[in-house]
Structure 1
Amino acid sequence: MRNVFCIGELLIDFVCRNTNVSLVNGSDFEKKAGGAPANVAATITKLGGHATFMGQVGNDPFGEFLEQTLQHAHVDTSMLIKDKQTTLAFVSIDQNGERDFTFMRGADGEYHFNSIDLSKIKTNDLIHFGSATALLSSPLKDTYFQLLQHARESDQFISFDPNYRNALITNTEQFIQDCLTFIKHAHFVKVSQEEAIMLSKESDLQQSALKLLNHGAKAVAITLGKDGTLLATKDKQTIVPSISIQQVDTTGAGDAFVGAMLYQIAKSEQTFPHNFEDLTTFISFANKVGALTCKNYGAIASLPSLTDVKAYD
């Protein structure tokens, strides 16, 4: 089975334990490991695959906790740097299971390209660009683009998720242009409805998917929450339904979806893109993994095992 390299942020989510409140009124917070690429990596290993996290945490107790959390999840941390202070996020959950969110950036943005041992990345490995913070500023932004160039030159599988955070992005048009650079070279692109419309400037989701495909993506998945996922290739489109669950916390659901997709792609011997029927099966599995992650609080702590997912077959 091929390895999946996930680059970006690994941070502390301080999750408010008070129910149905905003951060203004929350008072009881629990420390949890988070960060979109880390969530993806942990999803892959929880399902039985192989993943390496690439990024930086602080040389502090929070960084130690995060490293131990990934190691406990069997994620390879050999490309994790520990320096400066760990990035922190504060999250509360409203009555609909949606997040109120604020962010204190630290070490994650300091990850340099020269920290990466490129010899560890084999030609048939996958690289996932799914950071919510990488396109904010350099050094991490430069590292992101340099790794994309390396992946292109090495003809590697490229996965991209913009992980748009309105509270973090100050220049939306620049963010869109940066994302389109990755989409141009990506084999698999996962976007939310909001991201699809923003990046394509098309309100119709089928047209939006087609526009992203025409920009270069080989396959596009637009996640629709409880309504499933729109899967699109240049030849075909369909909506793949999800499963019904009692939603508690949506944190990490999209990352779990991506991790489940990459787990299946890394396990497959076929050249991507697979036939449409296989991709539909992959999406159905990923929908289940994403949905099951919403049944509990926290991202990595809520990830299902392969046994958990198979129970819903």
Structure 2
Amino acid sequence: MSRQGVISLGDAFIDYISKDSTNTIFHKFPGGATVNTAVWTSRIGVLSYYLTKLGTDEESAFVEMELVKEKVNVDYCVRSPEKRICSVKVHINQSGERQFHSYNNPTPDLLLTTNDLPEKLFQQGKLFYFGSGTLFHDIARETTRQALEYARKWGMLTAFDTNIRLLRWECEKKCRETVIAFAKQADIVKMAEDELFFLTETNNLEEGLQLISEWGIPFLFITMGGKGSCAVHKGRSIFITGVQVKAVDTTGAGDAFMAAIISRFHNHGMPQDDLKLEEFVRFANEIGARATTKVGAL
């Protein structure tokens, strides 16, 4: 039987997203970058597994129910009665751009450990995806390293979304060093333009791309909002214009883009020429744009 499935590793959230720019009424959604990506991967039609630690309370049940509804496999999640789901309030400005307003994590040390990882799943999956959302934490960092080790051992493709949230890190230096170290280990890396500037300590796209080319990332994707995105492979940069839509809420657009990219790699393997790579990016631009047309990442 051929290997199938994208394994996503992370921490689940509940997003309380403002209905509009008055920021007075909030809708409840499952969230977190890795959850969003796992769901969009499933929606695109790729077998999607999610690895996380859940609780046994009503909030965890809500997240699990939503994942199951989206046909994301949660059989390998770990349940702990003490675990409480993180939550974040997201405000919306006049142009539909999101602003992370407040963050609450009642059980910050209850995360997946290396012993919680099911190696047998890595033997049957095809692509391993992770983000930086929990890498500030020692336990999560070690678990991610172990997951990467399993992925490499069993010949999986690896994909990393830098997805930087500086407020969660003790300092910029630690964040930059950690994210760069993990980016250098992945086959596929996605980052937003402002994250490229932060990681390379530049404020110019051309200069940032020049510096990041030294990291040896096989396939790099830079998202630039409504301007589109850029794919970098073997020193060549391909710019693809964005799909024009009326943006209502940009929460999760990058996660939808990432899901589209990894689904293409999962289904078609590594693109063998610039035309195929461009096709991957056009599809991702379309999915990312579609995600902005309604409130909520999903």
Q: Does TM, scored on the shorter chain, surpass 0.5?
A: yes
Residue 226 of structure 2 is matched in structure 1 by: 226
Residue 115 of structure 2 is matched in structure 1 by: 114
Q: 1:76 aligns with which of 60, 64, 73?
A: 73
Residue 311 of structure 1 is matched in structure 2 by: none
* Aligned residue type for 1:129: F
Deviations 1:62-112 (A, max 9, x none): 100100101110111012223221111111111121222211124575211
* Aligned residue type for 1:232: V
* Aligned residue type for 1:208: G
Distance 1:157 1:14 in 2: 33
How far did residue 123 of structure 1 move? 6.3
- The change in CA–CA distance for 1:89 and 1:122 in structure 2 (over 3 A counts) is same
Distance 2:53 2:150 in 1: 20
Residue 206 of structure 2 is matched in structure 1 by: 206
Contact 1:37 1:131 (C-alpha < 8 Å) held by counterparts? no
**2:254 is the alignment partner of 1:277:** no
How far did residue 244 of structure 1 move? 0.5
SS in 1 for 2:60: helix
How far did residue 4 of structure 1 move? 0.6
**2:177 is the alignment partner of 1:180:** no
- The change in CA–CA distance for 1:247 and 1:76 in structure 2 (over 3 A counts) is same
* Aligned residue type for 1:87: C
Residue 243 of structure 2 is matched in structure 1 by: 243
Which is worse superposed, 75-84 or 118-127? 118-127
Contact 1:14 1:89 (C-alpha < 8 Å) held by counterparts? yes
How far did residue 44 of structure 1 move? 0.9
Residue 305 of structure 1 is matched in structure 2 by: none
How far did residue 176 of structure 1 move? 1.1
Count of residue pairs the alignment pairs up: 292
How far did residue 151 of structure 1 move? 2.5
* Aligned residue type for 2:277: L
How far did residue 170 of structure 1 move? 2.7
Which is worse superposed, 284-293 or 159-168? 159-168
* Aligned residue type for 1:46: R
* Aligned residue type for 2:123: K
Contact 1:248 1:297 (C-alpha < 8 Å) held by counterparts? yes
SS in 2 for 1:185: coil
How far did residue 149 of structure 1 move? 2.7
SS in 2 for 1:15: strand
Deviations 1:248-292 (A, max 9, x none): 001110000000011111111x4x353221111001000000000
Task: Give percent identity, aligned residues only.
Answer: 26
Residue 125 of structure 1 is matched in structure 2 by: 126
Contact 1:148 1:182 (C-alpha < 8 Å) held by counterparts? no
SS in 2 for 1:78: coil
SS in 1 for 2:77: strand
Residue 4 of structure 2 is matched in structure 1 by: 2
Contact 1:11 1:57 (C-alpha < 8 Å) held by counterparts? no
Distance 1:207 1:63 in 2: 44
Q: CA RMSD in A?
A: 1.8
Distance 1:107 1:127 in 2: 26
Contact 1:126 1:157 (C-alpha < 8 Å) held by counterparts? yes
Distance 1:14 1:242 in 2: 28
**2:47 is the alignment partner of 1:46:** no
Contact 1:229 1:287 (C-alpha < 8 Å) held by counterparts? yes
* Aligned residue type for 1:170: E
* Aligned residue type for 2:37: V
Distance 1:107 1:5 in 2: 24
* Aligned residue type for 2:98: R
| Runs of at least 5 residues in structure 1 that lack an aligned partner in the other structure | 301-313
Contact 2:122 2:150 (C-alpha < 8 Å) held by counterparts? no
Which is worse superposed, 254-263 or 114-123? 114-123
Distance 1:218 1:210 in 2: 14
